[in-house]
Amino acid sequence: LLQIASVWGIAVFIAIIASRNFSKAHLNPAVSLGFYFNKNIGLKTFGIYLVGQLLGAFVAAFAVFQFLCSFHSSLFRKKIFYI
């Protein structure tokens, strides 16, 4: 459990460092929504951040899905799992 938490924390840290210059590390739509309601960002900026966040989430989910499907099918071809 400690390794999972550590790797997750490092991954979020790297994402914040990588995106801080152009989005001020708005990695979560809830953060952007809070900034919008607090009037720290405008509606146009909020829309751009929201589209980017949702697009990034879908691309990441698709990539993980493709990886897991290819991994899963290779296990069945090698007859590691029998169904």
Q: What are phi and psi of 71, to 5 degrees?
A: -65, -45
Cα distance from N-terminal residue to C-terminal residue, the chain:
31
Q: What does the pLDDT read at residue 18? A: 86
CA distance linking residue 71 with residue 56, whole number of Å: 22
If one compares 67 and 75, the residue with the highest pLDDT of the two is 67
- pLDDT, average across residues 45-67: 90
What is the residue type of 2? L
Write the pLDDT tens digit of every residue in 6-43: 998 998 899 888 888 877 777 888 889 999 999 999 99
3 state DSSP class of 75:
helix
